[in-house]
Amino acid sequence: MATQQRLICLSTDLQEKGTGVRFALPELGAHVSGFVLRYDGNVHAYINQCAHLPVELDWNEGEFLSRDQQHLICATHGALYQPQTGVCVMGPCQGKALRKLEVTEQGQQVFINLSSLDQKV
């Protein structure tokens, strides 16, 4: 079976440790979103939902990194996550993780693998 992919953005839209790009995930619900960002040269994608409570991470759209740019941060709870894995390293959900999505970068474009949405949380 062929992999279903969805174009999210251009590679140039993602600067190292810069603003992330949000996108809708209607397959998971009317108000569910995801995001992609570039960290350590790689693109990472997650469902935009804190592992503690189902709230979006970014307070201002696309701002997912802590001030020191070392962690993803939940603007509501202050939980800190490793950008590469989504594992919470500090906060009320320590040890839990964000739901990671499969992402590829091809031909200066960033895609998510829609089949990764079928995986259990």
- Look at the block and give the residue holding tokens 């992330």: 20
Q: Could you give phi then psi for residue 12, rounded to 5 degrees?
A: -70, -15
- Greater model confidence, 121 or 68: 68
Residue type for position 51: A
What pLDDT is recorded for position 101? Answer: 96
Dump pLDDT digits (tens) for 8-59: 999 999 999 999 999 999 989 889 999 999 999 999 999 999 999 889 999 8
What pLDDT is recorded for position 120? Answer: 45
What pLDDT is recorded for position 114? Answer: 87
pLDDT exceeds cutoff 50 at 77: yes
Q: Which domains does the chain have, with CATH numbers?
A: 5-118 (2.102.10.10)
Q: How far apart are CA 69 and CA 34, in angstroms?
A: 19
Dihedral of CA atoms 109, 54, 88, 70 in degrees, nearest 10, equals 50
Q: How far apart are CA 33 and CA 2, in angstroms?
A: 24
